[in-house]
Amino acid sequence: MTLPHPPLRSYGRLKSRPIKPRQAALMDTLLPSLRVPQAPFEPRALMAGAAEAWLEIGFGGGEHLAAQAARRPDVLFIGAEPFQNGVASALRHIEAAKLANVRVHDGDARELLARIPDASLERIFVLFPDPWPKARHHKRRLLQRDTAAELARVLKAGGRLRFASDWANYVDWSLEILSGAPGLTWTAEQASDWRTPPADHVTTRYEEKRLGDCEPVFLDFVKG
């Protein structure tokens, strides 16, 4: 299924400060072996014996991605991130932990989603994406109705999606959009369900900076 974004445009920085020499070397040596195929592919086929396939969109520096992968070596993790400094940082975490169950898409997540078959993933994480807080920039947000429909499409029945943000407007925006995506149901039953970090959440240094305008909110959805 091809997303209606011709041509795709990724907003925000793709690179900032110079990448450290060690991380730059990993971009040349390790990254090519971890990149996902450029053609349509079955996620679990990327790792022999993978019990499940999980996706993190916008993994930042890779802390959450690497920590989750270390916890579940039986799961194939795919991380998508266009910011090159973040990719370089993630490669450092992957190498340091000797993770064999991580694959990387160093580009726009919408391009990646278009190559993933229906009902292929058990979990998706979208954690603290760029909020683009000004109203005129809301069209730049990752979560739009067509993207949410794609996330729902690639999730298996019973699969879970987690969105987190510390910007109140983006939380409201995402709750409305994700609740309207085909087959997705918000699992919260009481306020603590979205105010308290889930038991399996990994807090990153970025999250600890509290750069938003509210406490972190966690929205978990399940695919019916």
CATH of the domain at 167: 3.40.50.150
Using a 10 angstrom Cβ sphere, with 0-12 exposed, 13-18 middle and 19 or more buried, the burial of residue 139 is: exposed
Flag whether the pTM goes above 0.85: yes
Q: How many domains does the chain have?
A: 1
- Residue pair 147/186 in contact (Cβ under 8 Å)? The answer is no
Distance CA 56, CA 45 (A): 18
Give Cβ neighbours of residue 180 (< 8 Å, ≥ 6 apart). Answer: 145, 148
Contacts of 212 (CB under 8 A, 6+ apart): 131, 165, 166, 167, 168
Chain mean pLDDT for the chain? 92
3 lies in a domain?
A: no
Q: Residue 11's pLDDT is what?
A: 46
184 belongs to a structural domain: yes
* Residue 86: domain span: 21-223
What confidence score (pLDDT) does residue 18 get? 83
pLDDT tens-place string over residues 141-169:
999 999 999 999 999 999 999 999 999 99
- Cis preceding-peptide flag for 40 (omega within 30 of 0): no
Residue 91 maps to a domain: yes
pLDDT lower than 70: segments of the chain:
1-16
> Catalytic pick from 28, 118, 130, 220?
130
For residue 3, the model assigns a pLDDT of 41
Model confidence over 109-125: pLDDT tens digits?
A: 999 999 999 999 999 99
Q: Is 166 one of the catalytic residues? A: no
- The SS3 call for residue 144 is coil
Q: Is residue 61 part of a domain?
A: yes
